């Protein structure tokens, strides 16, 4: 299902974004 791929990509992007925020801090 395409939904599964999208759902797995969202958390990955969110994790990277969170990592950048932590690094900036």
Element (H, E) at 23: helix 2-24
Q: Each residue of 1-25: pLDDT tens digit?
A: 566 666 667 788 889 999 999 999 7
pTM above 0.75, yes or no: no
Output DSSP code: residue 1. -
CA count, 13 A, side-chain hemisphere, 8: 5
**For the range 1-8, what are the long-range contacts, defined as Cβ-Cβ under 8 Å and sequence gap of 24 or more?**
none
Q: Each residue of 1-25: b (16+ CB within 10 Å) or e?
A: eeeeeeeeeeeeeeeeeeeeeeeee
Instruction: Copy the structure tokens of residue 7.
Output: 């759902």
């Amino acid at each position: 299902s395409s939904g599964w791929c999208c759902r797995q990509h969202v958390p990955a992007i969110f994790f990277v974004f969170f990592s950048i925020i932590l690094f900036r801090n």
